[in-house]
């Protein structure tokens, strides 16, 4: 990872700081249902405010096509204010132009304004230089704290970063440091625990990661594709049969590169994916023709746990079974607890992220017991694919 500036390198007193945040949080009936991203952003705002910066917070929200009042950031003013200890947050009903300038000009040192949804302007997603210039007119300095949007080459993330002196915010810094410790300069042995439903969506990830880690444990429905590729019975399980050749290629490449792949030894099966259905736990060669594999079995959990105990670093992405539907959450919960236990005992550095992963950890009650849980979904995946993230590249000190 290239070197980047942090907010401690900037002289922010009395300056207007454009802070790119990711306030794209889940909202239901006007209420934020998971405030993690807002809470994790708060230390950056508080630190900038303590140094007398005028803080101009920018974010996207949802995927509006042009102005769409149902996707306004205005309802986020309250939750944002609450996250920073009740400090008032002003609001500007546009993110550029006279409306924004009026509110920004009125800011006093230490005050905060939230600008309206960047994606109300289609130029944002086009990384439009003119739009970036309009944003730059509202600030003296640029701070990016939106790691979870760093995979988007959008104007407020890419073009804007080059127009002003820039730095990573505290959350961006923490994400980059944690990810670096897990994959760029990790303590070996390193395990990747990868679940989720489809091989096809994680192909680039698997190809990249087998060259980085010592052990790759595969769970979730994507394991079924590998089992099928090995000629094992998978019954009516979710399985991408057309990916069998690809799965075999990945296994061969892993073996060649010295990466041990751990596939399930046993499986929890049922007739249908439904809470409380009758289940049968079977050896991996005995999956009935009319059954579906919905979780890995206890022998597989024991094998992965034993391997984990020998590892120093873990990267985890994706649930291991159909965890939203008990009892198919057992392996995910058991492994999450094992990871939490090894992490607490300082035997393991554990980093997790991406989509459903955080929900799975929360279901196990251990989301705050890992070394680091990323706020990112797609950006975490792209990072696991070894891709350069535009939002990270833009901060690199040259
Ligand atoms: C996310 O929630 O993953 C980020 O905010 C990016 O959002 P997007 O996928 O709509 O670009
Ligand atoms: Mg997304």
Question: Residue 378 Cα, ligand 2 centroid: separation in angstroms?
Answer: 5
**Residue to mutate, 149, 354, 383, ligand 1, most ligand atoms under 8 Å from C-beta:** 149
Q: Does residue 2 carry a pLDDT above 90?
A: no
Which residues have beta carbons under 5 A from ligand 2 (an ion)?
A: 377-378
* DSSP E strands, the chain: 16-20, 27-28, 31-32, 54-58, 89-92, 112-115, 141-144, 166-168, 190-194, 215-218, 260-262, 266-270, 280-283, 292-296, 313-317, 349-352, 372-373
Cis amide linkage into residue 327, ω under 30° from 0: yes
Q: From atom 7 of ligand 1, which residue's Cα is the shortest distance away? A: 149
Here the tokens at position 59 are 């974010």
Question: Residue 368 Cα, ligand 2 centroid: separation in angstroms?
Answer: 22
Phi, psi of 181 (to 5 degrees): -65, -25
Q: From atom 9 of ligand 1, which residue's Cα is the shortest distance away? A: 378
pLDDT for 15-35, tens place per residue?
999 999 999 999 998 899 989
What does pTM read for this prediction?
A: 0.93
User: What pLDDT is stored for residue 100 in this prediction?
Assistant: 98
- How far is the first Cα of the chain from the last one, in angstroms, to the nearest whole number? 12
- Nearest atom in ligand 1 to the alpha carbon of residue 377 is 3
Q: Residues 270-287: what's their mean pLDDT?
A: 96
Q: pLDDT band at 368, cuts 50/70/90? A: very high
- Collapsing DSSP states into helix, strand and coil, what is residue 54? strand
Q: What is the mean pLDDT of the chain?
A: 96
Active-site amino acid positions: 37, 198, 355, 378
- Nearest atom in ligand 1 to the alpha carbon of residue 62 is 10
CB distance 226 to 218 below 8 Å: yes
- Nearest atom in ligand 1 to the alpha carbon of residue 63 is 10
Distance, CA of 20 to CA of 159 (rounded, Å): 12
CB distance 314 to 188 below 8 Å: no
User: What pLDDT is stored for residue 377 in this prediction?
Assistant: 92
**Residue to mutate, 23, 24, 379, ligand 1, most ligand atoms under 8 Å from C-beta:** 24
Residues with CB under 6 A from ligand 1: 22, 24, 63, 148-149, 152, 377-378
pLDDT for 107-155, tens place per residue?
999 999 999 999 999 999 999 999 999 999 999 999 999 999 999 999 9
Rg (CA), the chain: 23
Q: Residues 248-273: what's their mean pLDDT?
A: 97
User: What pLDDT is stored for residue 19 in this prediction?
Assistant: 98
């Amino acid at each position: 990872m290239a070197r980047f500036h942090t907010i401690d390198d900037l002289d922010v007193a009395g300056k207007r700081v454009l802070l790119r945040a990711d306030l794209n949080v889940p909202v239901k009936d006007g209420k934020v249902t998971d405030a993690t991203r807002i809470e994790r952003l708060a230390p950056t705002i508080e630190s900038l405010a303590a140094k007398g910066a005028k803080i101009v917070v920018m974010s996207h929200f949802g995927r509006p096509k042009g102005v769409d009042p149902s996707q306004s950031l205005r309802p986020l003013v309250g939750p944002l204010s609450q996250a920073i200890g009740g400090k008032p947050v002003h609001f500007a009903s546009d993110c550029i132009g006279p409306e924004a300038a009026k509110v920004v000009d009125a800011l006093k040192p230490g005050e905060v304004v939230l600008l309206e949804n960047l994606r109300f302007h289609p130029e944002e997603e086009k990384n439009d230089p003119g739009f970036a210039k309009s944003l730059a007119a509202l600030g003296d300095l640029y701070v990016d704290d939106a790691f979870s949007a760093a995979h988007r080459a959008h104007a407020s993330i890419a073009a804007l970063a080059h127009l002003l002196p820039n730095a990573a915010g505290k959350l961006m810094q923490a994400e980059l440091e944690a990810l670096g410790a897990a994959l760029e300069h990790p303590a070996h042995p390193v395990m990747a625990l990868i679940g989720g439903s489809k091989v096809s969506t994680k192909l680039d990830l698997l190809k990249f990661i087998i060259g980085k880690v010592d052990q790759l444990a595969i769970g979730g429905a994507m394991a079924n594709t590998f089992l099928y590729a090995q000629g094992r019975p998978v019954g009516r399980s979710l399985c991408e049969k057309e990916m069998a050749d690809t799965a075999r290629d990945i296994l061969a490449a892993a073996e060649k590169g010295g990466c041990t792949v751990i596939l399930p030894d046993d499986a929890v099966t049922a007739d249908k994916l439904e809470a409380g259905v009758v289940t049968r736990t079977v050896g991996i060669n005995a999956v009935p023709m009319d059954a579906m594999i919905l979780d890995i079995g206890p022998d597989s959990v024991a094998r992965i746990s034993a391997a984990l105990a020998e590892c120093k670093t873990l990267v985890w992405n994706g649930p291991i079974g159909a965890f939203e539907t008990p009892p198919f959450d057992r392996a995910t919960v058991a492994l999450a607890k094992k990871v939490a236990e090894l992490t607490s005992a300082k035997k393991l550095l554990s980093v997790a992220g991406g989509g459903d992963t955080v929900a799975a950890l929360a279901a196990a009650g251990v989301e705050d017991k890992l070394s680091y849980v990323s706020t990112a979904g797609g950006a975490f995946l792209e990072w696991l694919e070894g891709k350069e993230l535009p939002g990270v590249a833009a901060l690199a000190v040259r």
